[in-house]
Chains A and B, each alone.
Chain A
Amino acid sequence: MDDLIKKSETINKLLARYGVKFGIYKNGEFKEQLFPFDPIPRIIKHDEFTYLEKGLTQRVDALNCFLADIYGPKHIVKDGIIPEEFIFSAKGFLAPCDGVTPPKNIYSHISGIDLVQSKDNNWYILEDNLRVPSGASYPMIARDLQRRGAPEAFSDNSVLDNRNYADLLKEVMDHVNTGGINVILSPGRYNAAFFEHSYLAEKTGAVLTTGKDIVCENDNLYYIDYNGRKQRVGAVYRRISDEYLDPMTFYEESVIGIPHIFEAYRKGNVALINAPGNGVADDKGIYYFVPKMIRYYLSQDAVLMNALTYLPYYEKDMRYVLDNFDKLVIKDVAEAGGYGVVFGSSLTAEKKEEFIALLKSQPRRFIAQEVIDFYDLDILDESGKSVPRKADLRAFVLSGDTTRVWPSGLTRFSRNPDSFIVNSSQGGGFKDTWVLSQ
């Protein structure tokens, strides 16, 4: 481990050289910044990982059942488990997807599930990301570079190899492929996660495209290469959000999408990874219902707990939220990336009054949660001293022939000692995540 710490500066330099960056749009300007890497790994013991694996697999399986139900027969609404207001007027519900069955009936192929550990060592699910969760490439390349610098650190400590992510991803793409090549569709060079798109394309052997060389003809999708040769496309791992995917179906002004790609998908002629419309399941409001979904679809109790959540939509919960406002964290359902998060105790009296008025007028828009006392992880500060910081873990769950959890993950930490928000778009850093084999 000391070896790793000594080499951390070199590794950060190499990461910069490989272009491991994160793009941020702020005030209309595009800026790229390095994603700072901390050499002290998060260590997950074998038994603990087995437990996480069980809970995550269960959760993602239930979420996939939910998506198939919502865009299909809608039993969960008919049976009164989830009120219809939480589904059909949610931004993430896409009417064009209604009645469309994706290849092999898989909606969320790559799920990024964010967890935190509390001081009493319990794991809590923080949020589900079922649209285009990013971040797997960062621990992949960091591990690769560290292994070059200090290979013994990994064999001596029985760390499970995490370099199989690309193989898992390729298996998923091949499993749902409808007959043709695999492509990774990126919005382009100026996307926040362009490094990841190119890296995953290289590692999985998929064609990296920005869509300019893809056409839809006769309900099929084709890739036209530099020779003018036309090849059928069977699976698209698209890193473009739903709204921009197809200007003829979704946002008309989109210039990064592929016109009519949705028609090929509707006819079952191409797999889209992940399926469009998944936003209805990773909404912060729906999060509250996931344990109920697990019981409803799988007849099991949830292995992994949600953070204790209240829905002001229910009168009883609203009363609790108003009575305990100062000790809760309130989240705007429509926001992501650490935005729209308010700690009740941080507001001035005036702001608090304003916020409560908003909450009362739009109860459906917010959820409230008990603040979790995070288990801090050590990081090295600029002077090389280890200091505790808040951190979370994004676990990657891949659904193909079976559902599998990648034995690693993205551990993000907040560099600011007072902040709970670890999102890379807000300046956090990352660590390697070790899963031990015994």
Chain B
Amino acid sequence: MFLPQDTARQKITDLNITVSGCENYSITNDSFNNKKLYGLIKEPHNNFEVSITGTAESGIGIFDEYFDDPYRFLILKAQTDLTKPGEKLNEYRKSLHLDEFYAPYDKALHIMRSLHETFQYNPGVTEIHETAENAFSLGKGVCQDYTHIMLSLLRSEKIPARYVVGMMLGEGSSHAWVEALCRGYWYGFDPTNNKLVNDEYIRVSCGRDSSDCSVIKGNFYGFTTQTQSEAVSVEEIITKD
């Protein structure tokens, strides 16, 4: 699973991790520089829990660090199986007249606003591995679908863009949004809420699409059925200074 880490915009303190039945976990970084916790439990068990608490100081800076080498993010310009556009998305992109905008930032902003208008928030319509094209054809979905669709459009415009998983003040589950590289800086766009990412957001992980950065992922061997639940709670602590 992924852990939130320090960035130019946020600072994580007193991180407290408990993993049931596993004292020997490791922490590593992946190719997208996400901080990842992993481990193995050999003993038979019928329950597994992970809990992470901590404090995030947000809104420290507006930008991440500056990247002057656009080639560093070539991977994030390529479409993936989930973001690859089909007929519907290509048509939609044409209807947006993105060539009227010059700066990547303006294109991204226009995409976010239009998509928020066009696409409807409605859980239970799309599936976990829904492609951007399918979700767009259905016309409704969740934050993951908004994000995949926006990534698809940005990448078709040759703008490097990444999928971000994180948390938002007041939400009961994890959230997803887009980061687009605009003139050397990563900007966060949240098409689900039609909002620029600000100090209400805590960033956890990023990748090419949802499959690179799902909060938790695992496997078990055995003949049984399983249920899984996830809960996220973000409360605001306001400091005086």
How many whole Å from B150's CB to the nearest CB in chain A? 19
Central interface residue in B24, B26, B212, by most chain A CB within 10 Å: B26
B203 contacts the other chain (Cβ, under 8 Å)? no
> Nearest residue in B to A97 (C-beta to C-beta)?
B31
Contacting B30 at CB < 8 Å: which of A96, A215, A260?
A: A96
Contact yes or no, B40 A98, CB < 8 A:
no
Contact yes or no, A263 B31, CB < 8 A:
no
A372 contacts the other chain (Cβ, under 8 Å)? no
Contact yes or no, A95 B75, CB < 8 A:
yes
Given contact pairs A95-B208, A216-B40, A248-B38, A263 touches B28 in the complex (Cβ within 8 A): yes
From residue 352 to 399 of chain A, which have CB atoms closer than 8 A to chain B?
none
Contacting A77 at CB < 8 Å: which of B71, B79, B218?
A: B71
> Nearest residue in B to A260 (C-beta to C-beta)?
B38
Chain B residues contacting A218 (CB-CB under 8 Å) are 24, 26
How many whole Å from B179's CB to the nearest CB in chain A? 16
How many whole Å from B206's CB to the nearest CB in chain A? 12
How many whole Å from B15's CB to the nearest CB in chain A? 20
Contact yes or no, B78 A84, CB < 8 A:
yes
How many whole Å from B189's CB to the nearest CB in chain A? 22
Contacting B78 at CB < 8 Å: which of A78, A89, A217, A266?
A: A89
Chain A residues contacting B24 (CB-CB under 8 Å) are 217-218
From residue 23 to 55 of chain B, which have CB atoms closer than 8 A to chain A?
24, 26, 28, 30-32, 38, 40, 42
B74 contacts the other chain (Cβ, under 8 Å)? yes
B94 contacts the other chain (Cβ, under 8 Å)? no
> Nearest residue in A to B30 (C-beta to C-beta)?
A96
Complex alpha-carbon distance, A252 and B217, angstroms: 9
> Nearest residue in B to A216 (C-beta to C-beta)?
B40
Chain B interface, number of residues (Cβ within 8 angstroms): 21
Contacting A88 at CB < 8 Å: which of B40, B42, B74?
A: B74
Dominant secondary structure of chain A at its interface with chain B: loop
B77 contacts the other chain (Cβ, under 8 Å)? yes
B239 contacts the other chain (Cβ, under 8 Å)? no
Complex alpha-carbon distance, A88 and B84, angstroms: 13
From residue 203 to 239 of chain B, which have CB atoms closer than 8 A to chain A?
207-208, 212, 217-219
How many whole Å from A257's CB to the nearest CB in chain B? 10
> Nearest residue in A to B69 (C-beta to C-beta)?
A78
From residue 76 to 134 of chain B, which have CB atoms closer than 8 A to chain A?
77-79
Chain B residues contacting A219 (CB-CB under 8 Å) are 26, 28
Given contact pairs A77-B71, A95-B208, A260 touches B77 in the complex (Cβ within 8 A): no
Contact with B along A242-260 (1 / 0, CB 8 A): 0000011000100000011
Given contact pairs A88-B77, A95-B75, A267 touches B31 in the complex (Cβ within 8 A): no
> Nearest residue in A to B71 (C-beta to C-beta)?
A78
Contact with B along A8-47 (1 / 0, CB 8 A): 0000000000000000000000000000000000000000
Contacting A95 at CB < 8 Å: which of B28, B38, B212, B219?
A: B212
Chain B residues contacting A347 (CB-CB under 8 Å) are none
> Nearest residue in A to B36 (C-beta to C-beta)?
A263
Contact yes or no, A266 B28, CB < 8 A:
yes
How many whole Å from B181's CB to the nearest CB in chain A? 15
Size bracket, chain A contacts: 20 to 34
Contact yes or no, B28 A248, CB < 8 A:
no
> Nearest residue in B to A91 (C-beta to C-beta)?
B81
A319 contacts the other chain (Cβ, under 8 Å)? no
Chain A residues contacting B212 (CB-CB under 8 Å) are 95
Chain A residues contacting B71 (CB-CB under 8 Å) are 74, 77-78
Complex alpha-carbon distance, A252 and B211, angstroms: 11
A81 contacts the other chain (Cβ, under 8 Å)? no
A99 contacts the other chain (Cβ, under 8 Å)? yes
Given contact pairs A74-B71, A260-B38, A263-B38, A99 touches B219 in the complex (Cβ within 8 A): no
A100 contacts the other chain (Cβ, under 8 Å)? yes
Complex alpha-carbon distance, A216 and B41, angstroms: 11
Complex alpha-carbon distance, A267 and B79, angstroms: 28
How many whole Å from B163's CB to the nearest CB in chain A? 12
Contacting A74 at CB < 8 Å: which of B31, B38, B74, B208?
A: B74
Complex alpha-carbon distance, A266 and B31, angstroms: 9
Contact yes or no, B75 A259, CB < 8 A:
no
Contact yes or no, B31 A98, CB < 8 A:
yes
Contact yes or no, A88 B75, CB < 8 A:
yes
Chain B residues contacting A97 (CB-CB under 8 Å) are 31
Contact yes or no, B78 A88, CB < 8 A:
yes
Contact with B along A272-294 (1 / 0, CB 8 A): 00000000000000000000000
Contact yes or no, B40 A260, CB < 8 A:
yes
Chain B residues contacting A77 (CB-CB under 8 Å) are 71, 74
> Nearest residue in A to B158 (C-beta to C-beta)?
A84
Chain A residues contacting B218 (CB-CB under 8 Å) are 248
Contact yes or no, A248 B217, CB < 8 A:
yes
How many whole Å from B19's CB to the nearest CB in chain A? 14
Complex alpha-carbon distance, A252 and B218, angstroms: 8
Given contacts A89-B78, A263-B28, 14 further A-B contacts (CB under 8 A): A74-B71, A78-B71, A85-B78, A89-B79, A93-B75, A95-B31, A95-B75, A95-B212, A96-B30, A100-B31, A215-B40, A219-B28, A248-B218, A259-B40
B binding-site residues for A, Cβ under 8 Å: 24, 26, 28, 30-32, 38, 40, 42, 71, 74-75, 77-79, 207-208, 212, 217-219
* 26 A-B pairs in the complex with CB atoms less than 8 angstroms apart: A74-B71, A74-B74, A77-B71, A84-B77, A84-B78, A87-B74, A88-B75, A88-B78, A89-B78, A93-B75, A95-B31, A95-B207, A95-B212, A96-B30, A98-B31, A100-B31, A215-B40, A215-B42, A219-B26, A248-B218, A248-B219, A252-B219, A259-B40, A259-B219, A260-B38, A263-B28
